[in-house]
Structure 1
Amino acid sequence: MSTMLITLMAAIMISMILMVVCYTISKKSMMDREKSSPFECGFDPKSSARMPFSIQFFLIAVLFLIFDIEIVIIMPVAVTMKTSVITNWFFTITMFTMILIGGLMHEWKNGVLEWAN
């Protein structure tokens, strides 16, 4: 018990020391207009570098991420098919697929998947 307490105290002390050292060494800078403006080879930029992007790119990226996560969830299901009761397995997969299809239909109904407006 005492070795665990000593190890915990040492870890806390080392992390505190590192935080204090990082805080004292870190470079402090004041953000002003010149530092926050874009820099192109010493010249002023011809156009704004902070142009907004289309929200549809963001929505497609989020959909892609969601479906990637769903594929990661589905992959172990094929492995567990051999060791589980087939009716429970089939019910689980059917419910998961129905939820996915319901989400896709909801997105389709709201027009998220339509690229050209």
Structure 2
Amino acid sequence: MKLVLFTIVCMVQMLMINCYHNCGFKGPLQWRQTVTGQSEGYCMTDEIRPRAVQLGSDIKTKDCFNCQCTNSGLYCCGIGIKAVEDSISPPEGCQIFITGCDYYFRKLYDVNVPCY
């Protein structure tokens, strides 16, 4: 019984880790002229308020993606809930709560009781 409980606790902790998944390109590399007349590579995020990301730079978006502007374009991987949202479902008798990029499970009958 202790082994089963330990296994369940470990599995829940693994779900809580900000693992990377749900990766792909979000946009092409673009070019612009600097004030000195040189060309500069950048990528644009697809957030509600898009941001320019300098070629070679990494950012974390507000919608839970880690992105890197590469020569191929803006490559992003989901973190937290965005890493697992297509494959996660709460255990029976539980519901999911999302806070920012993090998520956790609570009992349906009492949201103060965590699910294991």
TM over 0.5: no
Q: Which has the higher Rg, Structure 1 or Structure 2?
A: 1
TM superposition score normalised by structure 1: 0.26
Q: Where is the helix percentage greater, Structure 1 or Structure 2?
A: 1
